[in-house]
Structures are given as structure tokens and as C-alpha cells.
Amino acid sequence: MGVWRKWVFPILRIVVFAVIAAALVKLAFFADASGDAAPAVPTGSITDPVMTVERGSIVNDVAIQGAVSADAAVAVKAVAAGTVDELFVSEGSVVSEGDLLYDIKVETPRDPVETVGADGSVEISQPKPVISFEKVFAPTGGTLSSLTVLHGQAVAVGDVGGQVAPSTFSATGTLEPAQQYRLLDRPSEATVTISGGPAPFTCTDLTITTPLAGESSSGSSGNDVGGGAGGGTAVRCAIPDDVTVFAGLAAEITIPAGQADDVLVIPTTAVDGGAQSGIVFVTSPDGDQEERPVTLGLSDGSRIEVVDGLEEGETILQFTPNGSAPMNGDDCYDDGSGAVICAGGMM
């Protein structure tokens, strides 16, 4: 046993270390060059993704985020020049449209009267003015939120003497400029969905308005939430009286602007242009590309109807050369079929 411990084990240890050292020297200074004999050769090819023109349906619903707002108060204006005679209601009263609020005493001067005396002298007298009363009525129903006129106060035509806050609400929002192309034919109704509120309902009297250059909003009163602040295009529709809402609630306004069935449909990425006219790139079996103008119809934001310029079954580029495909951090993405689409085409 002493021989093994003194001679055999040390010799085996030296042999193992020598083998390891030799292997390291070979790897460091005598690497195998066989890997350079067959360098990697790319086998893929870059092609532009294409698609076939097919028929489908387009539902052109424009959805915008808005809010519920109380309808603006309506000013009570004097209808004649004179003095306030009598107030028939007090501030805070609930009134209906056409209720009498106050009247105005109007004094209309008469022309002087000339009389000739027995001695031939002429006397001029001023008759008393004609007294009449002009009534001021509530311009709308609601709560008389303010009444600022006083008995005996002099007023002129158009002077504001109070405000009536209606009990009605509207759904309001701001339309993006590009969305207006999808609403060339303006509907009169929209569907409103309120977060945490009742089931979606139809609101009527839909208006889409853009402030004119130089238009002032100083004449408006009351709340105007979402009313096109900043020069945007304002969308407003009346909420039915039987729907319970509160001012400030978030609301989604969906405006229906047409539907087309069994029409030629392509992605919006395949056309340069998004309204009325555009350009697509038709490809032939041998890979040639033809730039072709097309007439466009309805769009749902991701797909668009082709009215004229293409035939069913034709092949077009899925992404126009002037457009861009959706990219990830590496400028590539998987289209779901195993093909990887990059900025320059498909690998």
C-alpha cells in the first residue's frame, strides 16, 4: 500500500495534468481549420409581402372618446328698452319654456300738439307718453339659475337679465381632423356608451361643428365639456330625457357612417391615400410592379373599400413603398405564418 501511495498515485496525477496541458496547447495554437473550408452561405431571400384582393364587408363606425356635459345655460335677454316693472319669479325657481319672468315698462313719447288761441296765439303742449309693457319669457325650460334685474332698473334691448340652466344633458367629444374624411355624409344620430352606466343608447340631434376663423366663444355660457376646445371639431348629441346620467361621466360616442357589403377590400397599408383616391402597387407573377390609381370608398380605419381600379384576385403589395409595416425593436415581426417581415421585406 505504501508503494501505491508513494509512487503510483503521484505518477498518475502527473500524467493527467500533462494530457490536459497538451489539449490546451492544441486548442490555443493549432485550431482545426476545417470549419473555414465551408463558410456559411445565406439561403433566404428578401421579398416584398403581397396579398390577393378579395371581397368583404366594411362597417364605417367612427368611435371617439368624450364625456357627458350639462347643456349650457340660456341667457334671458331684454326685449325692449325701458325700466323693469314687475318680477314674477325668483332666482332658483323651476320654469318651463314660455313662462313669464318679468315685464318692462316702455314709455313712447308723443309728438307735440299745437293749439291756436282765440287771439291767434299758438300754444305747444307735450302730451303724456304712451305706456306699454313688454313681457320677457323663459327661453327654455329648467332652473332660473340667476336673475339680476331689479324693479325700476333701466334696460336696453338685448341686455342679459338672467340665465336658465336646462335639466338636459349632451354627449360631447372632439373629432380628429383625419376622421372627418370618414364622415363626409353626416348622420343625425349616434350610439353612446357610458362607463359604468346604462346600456348603450341612441342620442339624437347629432352636430359636428368646427369653429370658424375669428369666431369668439365669449358669448357662450355654461359648461361646454369637449366642445372643440383648442380649435378642434366638436361633436355633440342630445341624451334622451329618460336616460339617467351625470355631468363628467366618460362616454364613448360611436357615429355610424355607412356600411358596404360584398365589395373589394384591402388593408389601408396597401394604398397611398386614405379618402376618395389613392395609389396601389399591383404585382405580376414575374415580380414586376405596376403603380395604379384607385377610387376609394368606406374605411373602418384598418381596411378600405376599393370602388374602382382593381379586380378581384389581383395581387398587390401589402405595404406600399411609401408606407411602413408595423415594426418591433428589431425592425421585424412575425406575421403568424412563420414568415418574418422586416423593414426591407420578408425573410
The average pLDDT across 111-140 equals: 84
More confident residue, 197 or 121: 197
Provide the grid cell at 341: 417581415
The last residue of a domain, from among 210, 242, 258:
258
Domain end (from 258, 273, 296)? 258
Choose one of 206, 234, 258: the last residue of a domain.
258
Q: Note the pTM of the prediction, 2 decimals.
A: 0.61
The tally of domains found in the chain comes to: 3
pLDDT, greater one: 222 or 180:
180
Residue 42 pLDDT grade (very low, low, confident, very high; cuts 50, 70, 90): low
In whole angstroms, give the CA distance from residue 105 to residue 154.
Answer: 9
Domain that holds residue 154: 74-165
Mean pLDDT is highest, among 139-153, 287-301, 304-318, for 139-153
Q: Are 153 and 164 in contact (CB under 8 A)?
A: no
Q: Are 243 and 267 members of one domain? A: no
**In this structure, is residue 215 part of a structural domain?**
yes
Q: Are residues 279 and 293 in the same domain?
A: yes
pLDDT of residue 32: 62
Q: To which H or E segment does residue 233 belong?
A: strand 233-238
What's the confidence (pLDDT) of residue 171?
A: 94
Q: Which residues pair with 345 in a beta bridge?
A: 342
- For the stretch 166-196, pLDDT in tens is 999 999 999 888 788 878 778 889 999 998 8
Higher pLDDT, 298 or 213: 298
Q: Find the CATH number of the domain harbouring 201.
A: 2.40.30
Nearest in space to 243 (alpha carbons), one of 189, 204, 288, 284 = 204
Q: What is the pLDDT of residues 54-97, one digit of tens each?
A: 898 888 888 899 999 999 999 999 999 999 999 999 999 999 99
Residue 333 maps to which CATH number?
A: 2.40.420.20
Q: Is beta strand 100-108 parallel, antiparallel or unpaired with respect to 82-87?
A: antiparallel
Q: Which residue has the higher pLDDT, 35 or 209?
A: 209
Q: Name, in order, each residue with C-beta under 8 angstroms of 290's C-beta and a sequence gap of 6 or more.
A: 281, 282, 283, 284
